Amino acid sequence: MGHPDANVEHPQGQNQSPLSCALSTVSEASNLEELKSFTNLPNLVVLNFSAQWCGPCKFMKEKFAVMANQYADHSVVAVQVDIDKVPRCNQVYGVRTVPTFLLYRGGVKVAEVVGSNDGLLRASILQNL
């Protein structure tokens, strides 16, 4: 039987081997087009909007990586979005503060968690699996 990540779809036809998915559970969006392709996946996609200068974002980045690893078996796609590196992403996605976590499935936003509440983020992920 294959690795559960073998069925995870990746944007823009980028097929990753199950091994690379297991080793790299958090992807990084580098532009708006890439970000949109992630949000349109049929899997549950969790976007972590953050900034390098943000203290709570650094705290949540570690928690986010742990959660991404824990929920990889459920085909959850975790995506890091640096608001300073992806121009206009905060305006397009309505992000007013960092960290903000947006959960998408098939192009539809299913949940939003604002702030560094890892318990609330975990509950939102579990509710939308």
Q: Supply the residues annotated as catalytic.
A: 54, 57
Alpha-carbon gap, residue 49 to 96, rounded angstroms: 10
Interior angle at CA 108, CA 127 and CA 90, nearest 5: 100
The rounded distance, in Å, linking the Cα atoms of 45 and 103 is: 6
Rounded Cα–Cα distance for residues 122 and 42 (Å): 20
